[in-house]
Amino acid sequence: MTYKLICLALSISAGSVIAAPQKLDLSLEQISVSGLSSGGYMANQFHLAHSDWVTKIGIIAAGPYYCAQGSIKTALEQCVNQVLSPIDLNHLNSVANTYATEEKISPLTNLKKSKVWLFHGANDNKVKQEVSDALYEQYVELAGKENVKYVNDQAASHLFPTLSEGSDCQQSVSPYIGNCQYDAAGEMFGYLFDDFAVRVDTPQGQIVELDQQQLGGESASTLADLAYAYVPKSCAAGESCSLHISFHGCNQNSQSVGTQYAQLSGLNNWADNNRMVVLYPQTKNSTFMPLNPQGCWDWWGYTGAEYATQQGQQIQAVIRMARSLQHYSIQQ
């Protein structure tokens, strides 16, 4: 089904000649995803739900699949800044196996073909290292140790580390992008992809706005009106490009920080020379039911019991958006 996209192209280079709109040529046979904090939990859920499609993943400061077990109480007591009782990986993996048997998520054997990059800042006090350690242990069991890299020796707080963008690396403050003299985006892509081309100092592409409500349909009810996508010039010109989806953290959506996550993480710097479109879906804050005042992705069940499966509302909405990009024409 083809969806009409309502978008605003924000050109970086002023005064350029306007060419005819060019349809994107996206290769969607396999994609990569990443995420920070609640976005890391969401990236993990997205990966396991569709591991036949998602083959590369990077996660910063998150815990194992189904850690919250459908409960905000469990989420707060075990999966962020405290672990009041040990995380039972055997149980969590058993749930994943049951979901796979019931065909609610893709077969777990697909994970053996995945590559996984994980990061936990040594000075992160919002997600305990014990929580990220459990995610590493889970992926080692499901994907194989040879396919997983875990970085936990960088002195970073709870944020997305960059070479020079954002605030003090030791301060977990809005927009949760840290000047850490550490290129998390580059380290991630360098591990996940072979022969990845060099980064550019200044991205030369465009950030476009996408109508999430139109593209996501009923499944997008807990998402913001707009999402963003970064489109390199080569992709806008019609060259074949891949897709990467990056999920922001809590208090990091557009309602809270504008376009800073979509602009400053460093992902776009690597996307330019690698013909990669980066999709930045957006949550919305809510002080009513479902309660989500910090604009987190659903990793504990506020959208329903199937939140971590293929039937999860947010997972379905993002998939619809991703596939719709094949029908998008950009004004160069």
Each residue of 244-260: pLDDT tens digit?
A: 999 999 999 999 999 99
Alpha helices by DSSP H, the chain: 38-49, 72-78, 89-101, 129-143, 184-192, 212-216, 233-236, 254-257, 260-264, 267-271, 313-324
Instruction: Give the Cα separation of 108 and 51 in Å (integer).
Output: 8
Q: What are phi and psi of 199, to 5 degrees?
A: -75, 160
- Model confidence at 177: pLDDT above 70: yes
Q: Mean pLDDT, to the nearest integer, of 111-124? A: 98
DSSP 243-283: EEEEE--TT-SHHHHTTHHHHHSSHHHHHGGGTEEEEE--B
DSSP H or E segment with residue 118:
strand 115-119
Least confident of 5-14, 40-49, 108-117, 129-138: 5-14
The residues, ordered by sequence, that sit 6+ positions from 66 with a Cβ below 8 Å of its Cβ are 92, 95, 96, 308
Cα 18 to Cα 11: distance, rounded to the nearest angstrom:
10
- Share in percent of the chain as helix, strand, coil (round to 5): 35, 20, 45
Full-prediction pTM beyond 0.85? yes
Q: What is the mean pLDDT of residues 259-286?
A: 98
CB atoms within 10 A of CB 71: 13
Q: What angle do CA 221, 222, 224 make, to 5 degrees?
A: 90
Active site residues: 37, 124, 158
